[in-house]
Structure 1
Amino acid sequence: MLQFIQRYSVDTVSLSLLSLDINGFEEFTKYTETIDSKGPPVLFYFSGSKLPDGRSWCPDCVEAEPIIKAFLNELKKNVIFVYVDVGGREYWKDKACPFRTDNRTKLMVIPTIIKWNGVQRLEGSQCAKRELLQMMFEDDE
């Protein structure tokens, strides 16, 4: 059975942010099959797995995460934000990693934020730039 961990849930008036945690490519694939095309926008944040200290092995992910969290805490939009753990460093660095080869993701770097069924994406250090996050979330308006 597939389980998703709810990280944040903010509900203010009719606007809400739902944030989920997904581990690995199989869970990612299963979750994408449940997305309602008429529902709120879905954004995926791909990051390296967490070490025992709670920080990712990926330095760029460590840099971006607090900026993304702060931005999400202030967001007043109806959106689903999904954190996707792409795995450990060796798995991610493998050229055959499905997150790299799958046509839906085609990841080249992490962190990466992708708007599902859209062309918008932020890659690497772009994910740590608040103004780029703002532009990505305003694009629906």
Structure 2
Amino acid sequence: MRSTRVSAEAFDETLKKELNGTNKVFVLFFGTELPETDESWCPDCVIADPLVRKALLPVENSVLIEAAVGSRAEWRNASSNPYRSRTDFTIPAIPTLYKWTTSGAGERLVEEECADIEKLNAFVNSA
């Protein structure tokens, strides 16, 4: 597994680049890290992050695109959040882990599903 962090501005370009080839692309939307702790402000994201990485590690040709959604205030202000205002996919809560294909956003795990080892392993292994 390889991971890459993207800004909202570089999101589409990075997806396009990673989808060219045989990569299995996963996108994890999570709350931005707090400077004082280097951990997300979202407790569910803190729990899910290492589990997602561990599940993806053995998946050949997998790419994890890390998309921080901003601070708690930026996330809650849906009208101005660059990810929540998209019409081609939705992020109902964070963390959200998507499988992405050339057709766009596919299956997803949301919130506590991202920390459910059985669901997570089944999700990444069906890619």
Q: Is this a same-fold pair by TM over 0.5?
A: yes
Alpha-carbon separation, structure 1, partners of 2:85 and 2:68: 16
1:77 corresponding residue in structure 2: 60
Q: Is 1:89 equivalent to 2:76 in the alignment?
A: no
Alpha-carbon separation, structure 2, partners of 1:121 and 1:90: 24
Q: Could you tell me how far 1:104 is from its partner in structure 2?
A: 3.0
Instruction: Give aligned-pair identity as a percent.
Output: 30
Q: Is 1:105 equivalent to 2:92 in the alignment?
A: no
Q: Could you tell me how far 1:87 is from its partner in structure 2?
A: 0.9
Q: Which runs of 4+ in 1 moved over 6 A?
A: none
Task: Please state whether the residue corresponding to 1:26 is helix, strand or coil.
Answer: coil
Unaligned runs of 5+ in 2: none
Alpha-carbon separation, structure 2, partners of 1:39 and 1:113: 19
Q: Is 1:43 equivalent to 2:30 in the alignment?
A: no
Unaligned runs of 5+ in 1: 1-16
Task: Please state whether the residue corresponding to 1:99 is helix, strand or coil.
Answer: coil
Q: Is 1:60 equivalent to 2:47 in the alignment?
A: no
Q: Is 1:121 equivalent to 2:120 in the alignment?
A: no
Q: Could you tell me how far 1:56 is from its partner in structure 2?
A: 0.3
Amino acid at match of 1:135: A
User: Is this contact kept in 2: 1:43–1:115, CA < 8 A?
Assistant: yes
Alpha-carbon separation, structure 1, partners of 2:11 and 2:122: 25
User: Is this contact kept in 2: 1:56–1:62, CA < 8 A?
Assistant: yes
User: Is this contact kept in 1: 2:6–2:65, CA < 8 A?
Assistant: yes
Alpha-carbon separation, structure 2, partners of 1:30 and 1:78: 19
2:117 corresponding residue in structure 1: 130
If the length of structure 2 is used for normalisation, what is the TM-score? 0.85
Alpha-carbon separation, structure 2, partners of 1:123 and 1:106: 11
Amino acid at match of 1:21: R
If the length of structure 1 is used for normalisation, what is the TM-score? 0.77
User: Is this contact kept in 2: 1:101–1:107, CA < 8 A?
Assistant: no
Residue-pair matches, total: 122
Q: Relative contact order: is structure 1 or structure 2 higher (C-alpha 8 Å, sep ≥ 6)? A: 2
Alpha-carbon separation, structure 2, partners of 1:95 and 1:118: 19
Q: Could you tell me how far 1:66 is from its partner in structure 2?
A: 2.4
1:29 corresponding residue in structure 2: 12
